[in-house]
Amino acid sequence: MKVLVDTSVWSLALRRSAPIHAGPARELRNLILDHRVCLIGPIRQELLSGIRDETQFQRVEQHLAAFPDLPVVAEDYIKAARFFNVCQSHGIQGSNTDFLICSVAVRNRLAIFSTDGDFMHFAKHLPITMHHVRKTGP
Query: In the chain, what are the domains?
Result: 3-130 (3.40.50.1010)
Q: Which residues of 94-129 are buried (b: 16+ CB within 10 A; e: fewer)?
A: beebbbbbbbbbbeeebbbbbebebbebbeeebebe
pLDDT digits (tens, 9 = 90+) for 108-136: 999 999 999 999 999 999 999 999 998 76
Say if residues 133 and 26 touch (Cβ distance below 8 Å).
yes
> What's the pLDDT at 14?
86
Say if residues 128 and 92 touch (Cβ distance below 8 Å).
no
> What's the pLDDT at 135?
79
Residue 133: how many other CB atoms lie within 10 Å: 16
DSSP assignment, residue 116? Answer: -
What element of type H or E holds 113? Answer: strand 111-113
Which residues of the chain, if any, have pLDDT below 70?
16-21, 136-138
Say if residues 45 and 12 touch (Cβ distance below 8 Å).
no
Say if residues 11 and 20 touch (Cβ distance below 8 Å).
no
Say if residues 27 and 115 touch (Cβ distance below 8 Å).
no
Say if residues 69 and 40 touch (Cβ distance below 8 Å).
yes
> What's the pLDDT at 16?
61
